[in-house]
Amino acid sequence: MKHADVIVIGAGVAGLTAARLLQEHGLTVIVLEARERVGGRVHTMRDGRVTDLGASWIHGVDGSPVAAAAEAFGMPAVEFTVGGFQPDSRPIAYYGPDGTRLSDAEAARFAADIHEVDAALAAVVAVSASDASYRDVTEQAFLRRGWDAERTQRVREYFEHRAEEQYGVQIEDLAAHGLDDDSIEGDEVVFPNGYDELPRGLAEDLDIRLGRIVTGVEWSDGVRVRTADEHFTADAAVLTVPVGVLKGGDLEISPPLPAVNAAALARLEMNAFEKVILRFPARFWDADVYAIRQQGPEGRWWHSWYDLTPLHDEPTLLTFAAGAAARGIRDWDDDRVVDAVMAQLRRLFGPEVPAPVSIHRTAWQDDPFARGSYAYMTVGSTTADHDDLATPIGGVLHIAGEATWTDDPATVPAAMLSGHRAAGRIIGRAIAIESLWTQV
């Protein structure tokens, strides 16, 4: 069949959510997916071990539709509440610029400084110029503290690293509002059996055509969608490709996007953010900490390691190359990455620290169907840009995906909620998101 009521482009969580809800409401739906798998940026590698290469966390399970779906799909979850770059949500081993461990009191003072700036930041952001960066507003918040240079620098580094790790971008390139919609309600969790059980659950019983790279979408009184050698027609379409693909030029939208969508898209950008997962023959760090963090210039690229050991009972650390670090290591081979990361770990834990038995690193920047890990708000953008990007086009074309959701964008829940919104708009009335997981 080359005609359906609705064509959904992209079988990530946004597309699968929209498709599933539309099909449940009696519409015929075809999902066109470029890859040979579903899930998009929720992707689990299964090579004898289970490794999430894309999303890992639900950043707060309270009220999360993703948490509800995961539970309904029987996905075991492990509590891991450090995914939002919190300074002290759970035990963290902090190391000072000289590589020595901070005492509990020193770490608590550092965390208190961060909380103080955080508390002051909302008011600074609220009155910031429309072209202010996250750097600008944090610097203003520091100035008002009257701290000495050393104390300010430690906290400055923390905010730099938070922008990098949360959004994969340097602090001066992120809009002042770029982090103020990030909130964590309840515990965070990760999935030892793989996050991809979520999209695989959502995909059941849908008509998904894999290996279909969409090259054109024409919209007028209906929608025509083309791949290299096929044409599909539909009354409406949901377009869920990442911002990087929308901006990349290989997918032609005709007529071009209306001004409101185009302006919003212009102000969003894909980031550079890669995971580096290291497995070790033995644990050399404390058993009772969730993460290891180092302060100071040596931590410019490698500052935080997350202990994934409890997931599979194998000593494992996850670190991120974000922003400049992600771009910097792009052309490095794995050995060079291991050397760079291990130089820092050996500085903190001693020269006898063993080499990892395996390393895996992601390459989302070079993935033609992602072109980065997720979108961030460039300087000059506003939080309204997310919603504006999803403004229905000609009553027939609906853009969805993580970048189109204002509340906690760049996440799996954002993708799911944006798919739900698109389905509701096509059906023409509010629909319950719960049927996504109660109907399976």
Ligand X SMILES: Cc1cc2nc3c(=O)[nH]c(=O)nc-3n(C[C@H](O)[C@H](O)[C@H](O)COP(=O)(O)OP(=O)(O)OC[C@H]3O[C@@H](n4cnc5c(N)ncnc54)[C@H](O)[C@@H]3O)c2cc1C
Residue list, annotated binding site for substrate? 320
Residue 83 or 87 with smaller CB distance to ligand X: 83
Residue 275 half-sphere exposure toward CB, CA atoms < 13 A: 22
Give 41 or 386: the residue with its C-beta nearer to ligand X: 41
Show the tokens assigned to 270: 């894909």
Q: How far is the CB of 147 from ligand X (least distance, A)?
A: 32
Q: Shortest Cβ distance from residue 20 to ligand X (Å)?
A: 13
**Residue (213 or 340) nearer to ligand X, CB:** 213
Tokens, residue 389: 């990007």
**Residue (171 or 422) nearer to ligand X, CB:** 422
Q: Which residues contact 319 (CB under 8 A, 6 or more apart)?
A: 275, 276, 278, 302, 304, 305, 306, 341
Q: What 3-state class would DSSP assign to 237?
A: strand
**Minimal distance in Å, beta carbon 435 to ligand X?**
19
DSSP state, residue 393: B
- Closest approach of ligand X to the CB of residue 230, in Å: 12
Which letter does DSSP use for residue 202 in this model? H
Q: What angle do CA 157, 159, 163 make, to 5 degrees?
A: 115
Binding site for ligand X (CB under 6 A): 9-15, 32-35, 40-42, 54-57, 59, 83, 212-214, 240-242, 245, 251, 273, 275, 362, 364, 369-370, 373-374, 401-402, 410-412, 415
How far apart are the C-alpha atoms of 89 and 162, rounded to whole Å? 14
Are 376 and 385 in contact by the 8 Å Cβ rule? The answer is no
According to DSSP, residue 256 is labeled: P
Measured from the CB atom, the residue of 145 and 224 that comes closer to ligand X is 224
Cβ-based nearer residue to ligand X, 261 or 295: 261
Measured between alpha carbons, how far is residue 412 from residues 13, 14, 195, 246, 275 in Å? 7, 8, 10, 19, 17
DSSP-derived secondary structure for 79-144: E-TTTT--SSSS-EEEE-TTSPBPPHHHHHHHHHHHHHHHHHHHHHHHT--TT-BHHHHHHHHHHT
Least gap, CB of 409 to ligand X (angstroms): 8
At its nearest, how many Å lie between ligand X and the CB of residue 383?
A: 16
Q: Residue positions in the annotated binding site?
A: 33-34, 214, 320
**Closer by beta carbon to ligand X, 156 or else 209:** 209
Tokens for 251?
A: 């997918």
**Annotated binding site for FAD, which residues?**
33-34, 214
Q: Which is nearer to ligand X, 39 or 102 (CB)?
A: 39
Where b means 16+ CB within 10 Å and e means fewer, 91-101 reads ebbbbbeebeb
- Please give the Cα distance from 179 to 84 (Å, whole number): 11
Q: How far is the CB of 285 from ligand X (least distance, A)?
A: 21
The distance of closest approach from Cβ of residue 160 to ligand X in the complex, given in angstroms and rounded to an integer, is 19
State how far the Cα of 227 lies from the Cα of 306, in Å rounded to an integer: 41
